[in-house]
Amino acid sequence: MQEKKIEAKELIEQIIEGIQDKKGKGIVVVDMLNLGNSVCDYFVICQGNSPNQVSAITDSVADTVRENCGKKPYAIDGLRNSQWVAMDYGDILVHVFLPDVRAFYDIEHLWADAKTTEIPDLD
């Protein structure tokens, strides 16, 4: 269990690096480890200001994680319109939104009992 937690922490750090590399904003990590019956252990949620930026963030996350952790996502969905892209890394799901779509679905608040960590935006 401890090894899995360390691996997840490293993966999350690389995901955040990939997001920040393309100026992704509003990064939130939702820790659902202590919740029963959750679909995964962590959500990493962020946003880009345009469909092009959402797509670029998605590519950057995939490249950064592959280069530094040797992992590829099991699936990526939503690239057709790049309003909400979900990346499946097994125990970690990455969500990249346009701001209005993120506000509408408000997924970080669906798990109100989960621990959330906000990552400060880079300037």
**pLDDT tens-digit map of 38-75:** 889 999 999 999 999 999 999 999 999 999 999 999 99
Model confidence band, residue 123 (pLDDT cutoffs 50, 70, 90): confident
DSSP one-letter code for 106: -
DSSP state letters, 37-105? T-SSSEEEEEE-SSHHHHHHHHHHHHHHHHHHH----SEEE-TTT-SEEEEE-SSEEEEEE-HHHHHHH
* Predicted local confidence at residue 5, as pLDDT: 60
- Which CATH superfamily, name and number, covers 2-109? Beta Polymerase, domain 2 (3.30.460.10)
pLDDT tens string 11-41: 999 999 999 999 999 999 999 988 877 889 9
What residues does each domain of the chain span? 2-109
What's the whole-number average pLDDT of the chain? 92
